[in-house]
């Protein structure tokens, strides 16, 4: 398995561990975290099996299964450049998730001053993270 494949698999594993509900579609699973429905990277249609479908067909399926969300997000396979162009023509804003591989070197982090804090002290930080993660354009296909 390549570094890219391993990183992408890890990213999807994290997303899968956050899933509260899955809706199967003909293109692949739609993943939902109803507790945090505004966080766009936790609530996606993973179009693993686009087949010969057009961007219009996949977008219509996203509209159907993600109707209760304030956003639409579709994850496309890495080689789906034609679909990405189709989504762009529909007014969606494509983005690409980038991975960087650490190959060693550099100074290790100084952990001497790390201390555990009470969970309540993190509440405002977590609320800000949720607000920040909820900010996104309403329609976005993503490709690795």
Which 8-state DSSP code applies to residue 24?
E
Number of H helices, E strands in the chain: 4, 6
For residue range 31-88, list pLDDT tens digits in order. Answer: 999 999 998 889 999 999 999 999 999 999 999 999 999 899 999 988 888 899 999 9
Taking the CA atoms of 34, 32, 16 and 12 in sequence, report the sign of the dihedral they define. negative
Q: Are 59 and 71 in contact (CB under 8 A)?
A: no
Overall pTM surpassing 0.85 (yes/no): no
Cα–Cα distance, 25 to 34 (Å, whole number): 18
H or E element in which residue 143 lies = strand 139-143
What does the domain layout of the chain look like in residue ranges? 3-143
Residue 114 has pLDDT above 50, yes or no: yes
Q: Are strands 95-96 and 21-24 parallel, antiparallel or unpaired?
A: unpaired
pLDDT of residue 141: 57
Residue 98 has pLDDT above 90, yes or no: no
């Amino acid at each position: 398995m390549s570094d890219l494949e391993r990183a992408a698999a890890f990213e999807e594993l994290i997303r899968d561990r956050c899933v509260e509900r899955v809706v199967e579609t003909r293109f692949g699973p739609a993943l939902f975290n109803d507790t945090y429905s505004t966080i766009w990277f936790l609530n996606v249609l993973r179009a693993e099996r686009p087949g010969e479908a057009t961007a219009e067909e996949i977008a219509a399926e996203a509209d159907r299964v993600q109707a209760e969300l304030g956003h639409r997000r579709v994850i496309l396979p890495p080689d789906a450049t034609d679909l990405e162009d189709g989504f762009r023509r529909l007014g969606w804003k494509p983005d690409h998730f980038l991975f960087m591989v650490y190959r060693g070197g550099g100074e290790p982090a100084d952990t001497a001053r790390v201390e555990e804090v009470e969970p309540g002290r993190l509440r405002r930080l977590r609320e800000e993270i949720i607000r920040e993660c909820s900010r996104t354009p309403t329609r976005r296909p993503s490709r690795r």
